[in-house]
Amino acid sequence: MQLSAYKLVLGRLLTRDRLLRFGVPVPDPKCVLCETENESIGHLFFQCYVAWSIWAEQSRRYLGGVGRERDFREILKWIGDCRGQEQSWARRARLRLATSVWHVWRERNRRIYEGLSTPPAGILHNIESDVLVMSP
């Protein structure tokens, strides 16, 4: 999970826009989660309405409704600024972000490579389960 979040921060995840830039043929550049916009890191994780609904619900439930920015750089900045907050709160925010990134990326890959899809409520449930297991 942390590797996916780390690659997100570095902009290294192989989203469809990056594959096209590298000359890799992609059958359709659209996001497989919402099928409305071309897939990029920013779109897939924070602008896509499917991924955004997952992040917004977690923000509402557990993080006091903060971090509602729709640009991943702003959310990463917000998470970084949490260092002044209570340490356990900031840790939970980072854990939720990393877990969400991993599950959104996993869902994207399941849809592409396995033809399987999970509704946002199911993805959110899987995130919650993992966060509970990993929380100190």
Spans of all domains in the chain: 2-134
Tell me the pLDDT tens digit for each residue of 48-90. 999 888 888 887 777 666 555 556 666 666 666 665 556 676 7
pLDDT of 38: 96
Distance between CA atoms of 64 and 58, rounded to whole angstroms?
9
Tell me the pLDDT tens digit for each residue of 23-52. 999 999 999 999 999 999 889 987 899 988
Q: Any residues with CB less than 8 A from the CB of 124 and at least 6 apart, and which? A: 54, 57, 58
Helix/strand/coil for 43: helix
What is this structure's pTM? 0.81
Does residue 131 have a pLDDT over 70? yes
**Better pLDDT: 35 or 92:** 35
